[in-house]
A = this chain, B = another copy of it.
Amino acid sequence: MELLKEKIAQNGIVLSNSVLKVDSFLNHQIDPLLMLEIGKEFVNRFADKGITKILTLESSGIAPSVMAGLQMNVPVIFARKRKSMTLIDDLLTSTVRSFTKNETNEISISNKYITENDCVLIIDDFLANGQAAIGLIDLVNQAKAQIAGIGIVIEKAFQDGGQLLRDKGYPVESLARIASLEEGNVSFVTESITEVSK
């Protein structure tokens, strides 16, 4: 997605060989128009998959997911990283290790909003080692729902999460794939992506 790549090239800050900071438009400050375009692109990539729900993880996954949900006219569920006092009924839970934040979170969703009749698109802001996606997949599997695919805003293609998910057979669509952050530079994977027209 060229618009996203341009935004990353212009506004992304390389903090190390593995950490890209996109706080100016995705992870802290949010560019709503860019989110709308990202939502539209997810619709293009996952057209005709019969998606009934979008599942994401708080907090940075919410904005792109809500815009995709708006375009697809389906509800968005965000998994919580901590238990909420008003989220007390039957929970589906999984565990996600975050290497960036050096912590382990329990993530959970209510068992009311994803059921065996659902076809779920998982969306997240970053894909690195794939731990968050695997946790979300686990929640969908516990709900006995189908997984339509995994939509990622930014994939760190130099880490193994993308390969791991594709090897498991999940359709993974990443709107920007980063080949390397070495020497403070962002370089993208150049590839021809077969896009399903809307």
- List A residues at the B interface (Cβ < 8 Å): 15, 19, 21, 23-25, 27-33, 35-36, 58-59, 62-63, 66-67, 69-70, 73-78, 80, 84-87, 100-102, 109-110, 112-113
Report yes or no: A29 in contact with B100, Cβ–Cβ below 8 A: no
CA distance A4 to B101 in the complex (A): 37
A-B contact pairs, 30 of them (CB 8 A): A15-B86, A19-B85, A23-B87, A23-B113, A24-B112, A24-B113, A28-B77, A28-B84, A28-B87, A28-B113, A29-B75, A29-B76, A30-B75, A30-B78, A32-B70, A32-B73, A32-B76, A33-B73, A35-B66, A36-B70, A59-B59, A59-B62, A59-B78, A62-B66, A63-B63, A63-B66, A66-B67, A84-B101, A85-B100, A85-B101
Known interface pairs A23-B87, A86-B27; A69-B110 also in contact (CB < 8 Å): no
Q: Which residues of chain B are near A87, meaning CB under 8 Å?
A: 23, 27-28
Query: What separation, in Å, do the CA atoms of A113 and B74 have in the docked complex?
Result: 32
**A30's contact among B15, B69, B84, B100, by CB below 8 Å, is which?**
B69
Q: Which residues of B contact A80 (CB under 8 A)?
A: 28, 59
